[in-house]
Structure 1
Amino acid sequence: MSSWVTDLIEHGGYWAIALLMALENIFPPIPSELIMGLGGVGVGQGTFHPAWLVLVGTVGSLAGNYVWFMVGRHWNEDDLRAFVRKHGRWLTLDVDTVNRIDRIFDNHGQWVVFVARFIPNIRTMISVPAGLLGMSHKRFILATSAGAAVWNSALVYAGYTLQQNIDDIGQYLGPVSLGVIGMLVVVYIWRIIFWRPKED
């Protein structure tokens, strides 16, 4: 994966970074760690300016997350509860959990979205409930942008610092990502087998 990402960044510059970061948040298999890490290597080589790199990476992250946020906005809470009552087993989700998540978003939604930016896989999925549970556009944009800016800055710094070892880093990203996905599949199957809904 890293070879074509590297080629695209080399030829597309900032535009490629923005595009890849948007796609990373729509199709998570493209890891932001690789994209912004390679951008950090480019900073060390004089190809990118760190401030501009973080800015375009953050804009791309926001664009990708906003797609899923708008998907969530096309539903409403009553639709969600009806769906969960019918298909909750496959989501290992019941109405009681939906109600608790709703209360969390009402009170701490911006912090949930902000913190989620640092958690693989969750960073994309959190955008759907944020939209579905009625989080305002302004709060979502601010929380997502702030979290993405911090995360992207850390990745750029890591890439810049470790530029001499980027080949070694790249060879571990794939196996680690597959390991995380495999673990999530096992957890999901376990929950499907043993999960029981609460009465609502």
Structure 2
Amino acid sequence: MLDITQIISDYGPWAIFVLVLIEDFGIPVPGETALISAALLASQGKMPIELLLPAAWLGAVIGDNIGYAIGRFGGRRVVLRHGARVGITEARLARIERFFQRRGGAIVIVARFFVGLRQLNGIVAGIGCMAAPRFALYNAIGAALWVGAWGFGTYWFGKHFEQALAHFGPVGLYTAAGVTTVVVLIYLVWRFVYRSRPQGSNNS
């Protein structure tokens, strides 16, 4: 089992580059967890944030483009034949393909924030023969948003946590976190129910 903390401590931003890159073309390694851990270290002055964020972005962009090339030139059959070793099953691939059919290129941007979609969106885009320049653009934008949220966001939180704790106290922080979690869960449940309704149900 990978000791993510030790790897990050030993290799710094290079570790994040490699882990994010590998995760983004389908191999199940904890790239997102590694980015969050590294950003927390950076907030404590143990890693340069100005190197960490570009390393994560480059790893994300290159990794997804490798996945795109695998899907584009290998095809669905080759991906399924060899992908089973790293958990790429036919059912899983078909589910993500249906996401792409409904949402098109926009899914490339938001896919990074969801486990499963993040690892396979490049491969599925390649299998579906999305135009390479279009994929590259959406992929770069999605990578920037993802790194900004989990990399810079975690770094900022780590920098300001003690200040917020002193100002609001632990009860205030826990309350804010709890309310935010409940709101997000309610939204996700509403979206799931709304999307699950039959198309013609509004006309009944």
Query: What's the TM-score once normalised by structure 1's chain length?
Result: 0.60
Q: Deviations over 1:61-111 (max 9, x none)?
A: 12222222111111569x89xxxxxxxxx53899xx97x777657xx42x1
What is the rounded CA distance, in whole Å, between the counterparts of 1:49 and 1:136 in structure 2? 36
1:136 aligns with 2:135: no
> Could you tell me which of 158, 170, 174 is aligned with 2:154?
158
Residue 91 of structure 1: aligned partner = 91
Structure 1 residues 27 and 72: alpha-carbon distance in aligned structure 2, compared to 1, 3 A threshold: closer
Q: Does 1:16 align with 2:12?
A: no
Change (3 A) 1:75 1:104: farther
Distance 1:56 1:14 in 2: 6
Give the superposition deviation at 1:37: 0.9
Q: Against the structure 1 CA distance between its residues 146 and 48, is the aligned structure 2 distance closer, same or farther, given a 3 Å change threshold?
A: farther
What is the aligned-residue RMSD (CA, Å)?
3.3
| Per-residue deviation, residues 27-61 of structure 1 (Å, max 9, x unmatched) | 55322331111111121122333343221101111
| TM value normalised by structure 2 | 0.59
For residue 13 of structure 1, report the CA deviation from its aligned partner. 1.4
Checking the alignment, whether the CA contact within 8 Å between 1:113 and 1:126 is kept in structure 2 is: yes
What SS does the corresponding residue of 1:26 show, helix, strand or coil?
Answer: coil
Query: Any idea what the Cα deviations from partners look like across 1:108-154, whole Å, max 9, x if unmatched?
Result: 42x12111111111112121221122222222222112112211222
**Which runs of 5 or more structure 1 residues have no equivalent in the other structure?**
81-89, 165-200
Residue number in structure 1 paired with 2:45: 46
- Give the conservation status (yes or no) of the 8 Å contact 2:71–2:124: yes
Distance, in Å, in 2 between the alignment partners of 1:69 and 1:133 is 10
Task: Give 1:176's aligned residue.
Answer: none
Which residue in 1 is equivalent to 2:117? 122
Number of the residue aligned with 1:37: 36
Q: Assess if the C-alpha contact under 8 Å between 1:22 and 1:65 holds in 2.
A: yes
3-state SS of paired residue (1:74): helix
Consecutive unaligned residues of structure 2, counting only runs of 5 or more, are: 79-89, 162-204
Q: Distance in 1 between matches of 2:5 and 2:130?
A: 36
Bigger relative CO (Cα 8 Å, ≥ 6 apart) = 1
Aligned residues: 148
- Identify if the C-alpha distance between structure 1 residues 40 and 133 changes in structure 2 by more than 3 Å, giving closer, same or farther: same
Identity of aligned residues (%): 27
Any conservation in 2 of the 1:20–1:35 contact (CA below 8 Å)? yes
Name segments (4+ residues, structure 1) moved above 6 Å.
none
